[in-house]
Structure 1
Amino acid sequence: MRRETQNVLLLLLGGALLKIAVTGDYLRYVKPTHQPWLVGAGIVMLVLAGVAIVRDVRDGARAAAGDTDETDDAGDGRGCAPDACAGEGGHEHTARSAWLIVVPVLAVLLVAPPALGADSVLRTRQNTEPGNTEFAPLPPREVVSLPVGDFVARAGWDERDSLDGRTVRLTGFVVQTADGPQLARMTMSCCAADAFAVRTGLTGGQADLLPSDTWVEVTGQLVPADDTRARDYVPDLAVRTLREIPRPEEPYET
């Protein structure tokens, strides 16, 4: 790969990392806690590209002024033997294919992919078994806001049944399935590559006609059931209220 190509790639990649870190698009790839690392990596790449470009410009200026070393007698003006610098047919090969590496970098820089949604939910199984089944008591409010993952985990694993008779508020996107509408949220441990879905069924008919990937805020109560394991740990929420909302800035739960 030519040095010019390397420098351009460093500039583009460093700029892309800083762009998504500043605009918040990085939340579609990694957890919020990774923002400082993205900013640092972007700055380092831009500095490296700047240093390399300045050095190459200075080397070119010295070469033009005749300050470069004398060419070997057997050389061809580039400081090496002809057979070492020339490819087949006596000409230098350029790594044009190396520029294809720029394509994914430009994609990150210019195109912000959507967060994982309903299609990913339908292709994955629910994964909600918590490492610790000791759940803290819910606050004594009339309506308790919970992450979807916390609601699903409590529904399947809380031996104290802290959700019984409690009204909760959940935020997520609608997934239309063969068993009816569900409310889902993607949860990531590190980045979007390891994200998995947590979901709960929505009963009451209010979500039946909503398209998949519609973001909503719902309130309701857990529908008691003894077949949580048989249903892949997907509980049901008896919906009391439902309203459509814009997609949140942080589409993933952590």
Structure 2
Amino acid sequence: MKRETQNILLLLLGGALLKIAVTGDYLRYVKASHLPWLFGAGLVVLVLAGVAIVRDVRAGARAAAGDTGRDRSGPADACAGEGDHGHTARSAWLIVVPVLAVLLVAPPALGADSVLRTRKNTEPGNTEFGPLPPGDVVSLSMSDFVDRAGWDERQSLDGRIVRLTGFVVQTTGGPQLARLTISCCAADAFAVRTGLTGGRADLVPSDTWVEVTGRLVPADDTRARDYVPDLAVRTLREIPRPDEPYET
């Protein structure tokens, strides 16, 4: 790859990193805590591109000045006439494609399609749960709700009304509410989900973000049901996609 191509690629890459950092699109790829690193990486790449461009321009100017007045009729020109046997690495330009994709068209966050490819909720590994806060309606993350439903020996969810936020997934077994959880980035995302009974949830299209309230449906076969509990819906309303679509 020619140096000019390398410099252009560095500029595009640095610009793409800063763009998704400023617009918030980075939350479709990584956790919010990674924002300073993303900004730093974008700035470093842009500085490297700028330094490389300035250095190449100065080197070209010095070469042009050194060639002034030089006799070009010597053997060197004869050799040049034999033809340029160098080959441009055209395939290297393919590296620009993902950079332009991020710069111009940011892909959406993972959604219902990713959930349908997940066979079950991830088996929780922690059975110690604190008491739920007081109140008529308790707001919980999807992960906390699913973990408590399957593993809380104190059954803290029994009789409590909870508020959950997620997106609807229409499955062959009925509607579900899902949320994708990440540890670092979208590449390690896994789905947590609960079935929805009532509330006309079966009429809501997949990938629609909703806020629901309801009660856990008691069940003794949580493990056999792939750790997917059911929520008896009391209220359901559509909401805009959150700025942070993933749970962490």
Shorter-chain TM-score above 0.5:
yes
Structure 1 residues 46, 75: CA separation in 2 closer, same or farther (over 3 Å shift)?
farther
Given that 2:168 and 2:205 are in contact with CA atoms closer than 8 Å, whether structure 1 keeps it comes out as: yes
The Cα of 1:90 is off from its aligned counterpart by 4.3
Rounded Cα–Cα distance in structure 1 between residues aligned with 2:129 and 2:198: 28
Aligned residues of 2:214 and 2:235 also touching (Cα < 8 A): yes
Q: Which residue of 1 aligns with 2:55?
A: 55
- 2:163 counterpart residue number: 169
Structure-1 residue corresponding to 2:142: 148
Normalised by the length of structure 2, the TM-score is 0.93
Contact 1:128–1:152 at 8 Å: present in 2 too?
Answer: no
Higher mean Cα deviation, 174-183 or 122-131? 122-131
- Name 1:29's counterpart in structure 2: 29
User: Distance in 1 between the 2:187 and 2:75 partners?
Assistant: 51
* Partner deviation per Cα, 1:180-221 (whole Å, 9 max, x = no partner): 100000111111111011000000142011111111000000
Residues 128 and 153 in structure 1, CA contact (< 8 A), matched pair in contact too? no
Establish whether residue 182 from structure 1 lines up as the match of residue 182 from structure 2.
Answer: no
Match among 119, 129, 136 for residue 123 of structure 2: 129
**Counterpart contact for 1:169–1:219, Cα < 8 Å:** yes
Question: In the aligned structure 2, how far is the partner of 1:127 from the partner of 1:238?
Answer: 19
Worse-matched range after superposition: 214-223 or 196-205: 196-205
The percent identity for this pair of structures is 85
Query: Which residue of structure 2 aligns with residue 17 of structure 1?
Result: 17
Structure 1, 52-61 or 93-102: larger mean CA deviation: 93-102
Return closer, same or farther for 1:222/1:119 CA change in 2, 3 Å cut-off.
same
Provide, for residues 89-129 of structure 1, a one-character-per-residue CA deviation record: whole Å limited to 9, x for no partner. 64322222221211110001011111111111111123333
**Per the alignment, do residues 232 and 243 of structure 1 end up closer, same or farther by CA in structure 2, a change over 3 Å counting?**
same
- Is 1:234 aligned to 2:218, yes or no? no
2:219 to 221, 225, 230: 225
Please give the secondary structure, in 2, of the residue aligned with 1:45: helix
Query: How many equivalent residue pairs?
Result: 244
Residue 97 of structure 1 corresponds to 91
Q: Cα RMSD (Å) of the superposition?
A: 2.2
Q: Which residue identity does 1:245 align to in structure 2?
A: I
Partner Cα distance (1:6, 1:56) in 2: 12
Distance in 2, Cα, partners of 1:51 & 1:67? 24
Any conservation in 2 of the 1:176–1:212 contact (CA below 8 Å)?
A: yes
1:137 is displaced (CA, Å) by 0.8
- 8 Å Cα contact 1:125/1:197 also seen in 2: no
Give the AA of the match of 2:108: P
What CA distance in whole angstroms lies between the structure 1 residues aligned with 2:75 and 2:25?
Answer: 52
Q: Unaligned regions of 5+ residues in structure 1, if any?
A: none
